[in-house]
Amino acid sequence: MAPPAHSGAGPRSEVGVTATEAEKAHTLRENTGSGTHRVVEMIPPQEASVRRREIEDKLKQEEETLSFIRDSLEKSDQLTKNMVSILSSFESRLMKLENSIIPVHKQTENLQRLQENVEKTLSCLDHVISYYHVASDTEKIIREGPTGRLEEYLGSMAKIQKAVEYFQDNSPDSPELNKVKLLFERGKESLESEFRSLMTRHSKVVSPVLILDLISGEEEMEVQEEVPLEHLPEGVLLDVVRISRWLVEYGRNQDFMNVYYQIRSSQLDRSIRGLKEHFRKSTSASGVPYSPAIPTKRKDTPTKKPIKRPGHEHDFRVKHLSEALNDKHGPLAGRDDMLDVETNAYIHCISAFVKLAQSEYQLLMEVIPEHHQKKTFDSLIQDALDGLMLEGENIVSAARKAIVRHDFSAVLTVFPILRHLKQTKPEFDQVLQGTAASTKNKLPSLITSMETVGAKALEDFADNIKNDPDKEYNMPKDGTVHELTSNAILFLQQLLDFQETAGAMLASQETSSSATSYSSEFSKRLLSTYLCKVLGNLQLNLLSKSKVYEDPALSAIFLHNNYNYILKALEKSELIQLVAVTQKTAECCYREHIEQQIQTYQRSWLKVTDYIAEKNLPVFQPGAKLRDKERQMIKERFKGFNDGLEELCKIQKAWAIPDTEQRDKIRQAQKHIVKETYGAFLHRYGSVPFTKNPEKYIKYHVEQVGDMIDRLFDTSA
DSSP state string for 623-691 = TSPPPHHHHHHHHHHHHHHHHHHHHHHHHHTT-----HHHHHHHHHHHHHHHHHHHHHHHHHHTTS---
- Mean pLDDT confidence for 375-385: 94
pLDDT value of position 610? 87
**With 50 as the cut, is the pLDDT of residue 711 above it?**
yes
- Mean pLDDT confidence for 191-207: 91
**With 70 as the cut, is the pLDDT of residue 9 above it?**
no
**With 60 as the cut, is the pLDDT of residue 19 above it?**
no
Neighbours of 440 (CB within 10 A): 16
- Cβ contacts of 364 within 8 Å, gap of 6 or more: 260, 264, 373, 376, 377, 380
Q: Bridge partners of 146?
A: none
DSSP run (H or E) holding 302:
none
32-38: long-range contacts (C-beta < 8 A, 24 or more apart)?
A: none
Lowest mean pLDDT among 228-242, 616-630, 641-655: 616-630
CA 347, distance to chain mean position in Å, is: 15
pLDDT value of position 522? 87
Strand, coil or helix: what is 291? coil
CA distance 494 to 584: 22
338 class by beta-carbon count within 10 Å (0-12 exposed, 13-18 middle, 19+ buried): middle
- Mean pLDDT confidence for 472-485: 85
- Mean pLDDT confidence for 701-715: 86
- Mean pLDDT confidence for 569-590: 90
For a pLDDT cut of 90, what percent of the chain falls above it? 37
Angle (deg, nearest 10), helices 234-246 and 341-367: 60
Q: How confident is the model at residue 109 (pLDDT cuts 50, 70, 90)?
A: confident
CA 654, distance to chain mean position in Å, is: 57
Q: Which of 614, 711, 710 is nearest to 671 (CA)?
A: 710
Strand, coil or helix: what is 207? coil
CB 332 within 8 A of CB 493: yes
507-511: long-range contacts (C-beta < 8 A, 24 or more apart)?
A: 508/448, 508/451, 508/452, 508/455, 509/452, 509/455, 509/459
**With 50 as the cut, is the pLDDT of residue 675 above it?**
yes
CA dihedral 235, 236, 241, 247 (to 10 degrees): 130
Distances (CA, A) of 142 to 158, 177, 191, 252, 347: 12, 17, 10, 19, 50
Distances (CA, A) of 658 to 186, 451, 544, 562, 655: 85, 38, 22, 10, 10
- Mean pLDDT confidence for 447-476: 85
pLDDT value of position 713? 87
**With 60 as the cut, is the pLDDT of residue 581 above it?**
yes
**With 50 as the cut, is the pLDDT of residue 295 above it?**
no
pLDDT value of position 201? 92
- Cβ contacts of 298 within 8 Å, gap of 6 or more: 332, 335, 494, 496, 497
pLDDT value of position 228? 65
- Mean pLDDT confidence for 624-648: 85
**With 50 as the cut, is the pLDDT of residue 33 above it?**
no
The more confidently predicted of residues 184 and 287 is 184
CA dihedral 555, 556, 562, 563 (to 10 degrees): 150
Lowest mean pLDDT among 8-22, 55-69, 674-688: 8-22
**With 80 as the cut, is the pLDDT of residue 386 above it?**
yes
**With 70 as the cut, is the pLDDT of residue 533 above it?**
yes
CA dihedral 503, 504, 509, 513 (to 10 degrees): 110
Per the prediction, the chain carries an average pLDDT of 80
Lowest mean pLDDT among 124-138, 234-248, 342-356, 677-691: 124-138
Q: How confident is the model at residue 613 (pLDDT cuts 50, 70, 90)?
A: confident
Lowest mean pLDDT among 145-154, 435-444, 578-587, 691-700: 691-700
Neighbours of 250 (CB within 10 A): 17
pLDDT value of position 619? 65
Half-sphere exposure (Cβ direction) of 580: Cα atoms closer than 13 Å: 12
The more confidently predicted of residues 435 and 331 is 435
